[in-house]
Amino acid sequence: MKLLDITKQKFNRLTAIKFDHTGKYGEHFWLFCCECGRKKIIVKRSVISGKTQSCGCLHKERVKVLGLKNGTHKLSKSRFYRIWFEMKKRCNKKNHISYKNYGGKGIRVCSRWVKFEGFRDDMYRGYIEHVKKYGEKNTSIDRVNNSQDYCKYNVKWSTRIEQSNNTNRNFRIKFNGHIKTLSEWAREYQLKPHTLRRRIVSGWFLGRAMDSKKYINQFC
């Protein structure tokens, strides 16, 4: 069988240098150079699939950054862990208060994040950076496209204001024969989006909710 040449191709932190040998069971071993400068012979299939992403330095970095010890993450009592736990619940638990807006609409958590370790490896570093800048209470997970699942390429860490704006852009309301987003209605009636949203969620009739002057002191 012809050997697939991957010379000079990069996979995560590893760049293929040359074919080394064929293993006992037909595996192709290649010599790779890691970003850290270390060279190592690894099974090609493991590198291409992403199972092996570095010479071992990536794991050492995660141990240091994430506080790993003896295979445990020690994050089960952290806010970061609760964010992952709640994300799964609103997508999977039918009795969850927000299920109808997530799992009920077909929104799922990607297979890599079913286990906490996958979510941690993809998102914890960004979480820490966001917390340092905005604070822990002002750091929440937000989907870029609200019609798609929770996965690495469709989520970001957001402040409360950013997440509220993202939600408002997708909250469409029919009023006086017209359909507009909550943000558009708020702008037209000179209201703050969160004020209008709280009024509607609280059960106000739309006409009353839009009347910014008469109810200026309520939910402002």
DSSP SS3 for 213? coil
Residue 2 pLDDT: 55
Residue 215 pLDDT: 55
Residue 34 in contact with residue 55, Cβ under 8 Å?
yes
Q: Which amino acid is at 113?
A: W
Cα-based angle 80, 85, 72 (whole degrees, multiple of 5): 65
What's the alpha-carbon Rg for the chain, to the nearest Å?
24
Rounded to the nearest 10 degrees, the angle between the axes of helix 79-92 and helix 116-134 is 120
Residue extents of the structural domains in the chain? 1-55, 79-167, 171-210
> What are 25's two structure tokens?
């069971």
State how far the Cα of 88 lies from the Cα of 24, in Å rounded to an integer: 42
Q: What is the largest CA-CA distance in the chain?
A: 81
Q: What is the pLDDT of residues 72-130, one digit of tens each?
A: 557 888 899 999 999 999 999 999 888 988 999 899 999 999 999 889 889 998 999 99
State how far the Cα of 37 lies from the Cα of 23, in Å rounded to an integer: 25
pTM for this one? 0.50
Residue 92 in contact with residue 34, Cβ under 8 Å?
no
Q: Which amino acid is at 114?
A: V
Strand partners, 33: 15, 39
Spell out the SS3 assignment of 168-185.
Answer: HHCCEEEECCEEEEHHHH
Residue 72 pLDDT: 54
Residue 204 pLDDT: 82
- 201 alpha carbon, distance to own chain's centre: 26
Residue 167 pLDDT: 62
Residue 110 pLDDT: 94
Torsional sign, CA 61, 62, 64, 66: positive
Nearest to 126 by CA among 111, 139, 112, 110: 139
Residue 64 pLDDT: 64
Residue segments in the chain with a per-residue pLDDT below the cut of 70: 1-2, 62-73, 164-171, 201, 212-220
Phi, psi of 176 (to 5 degrees): 55, 35
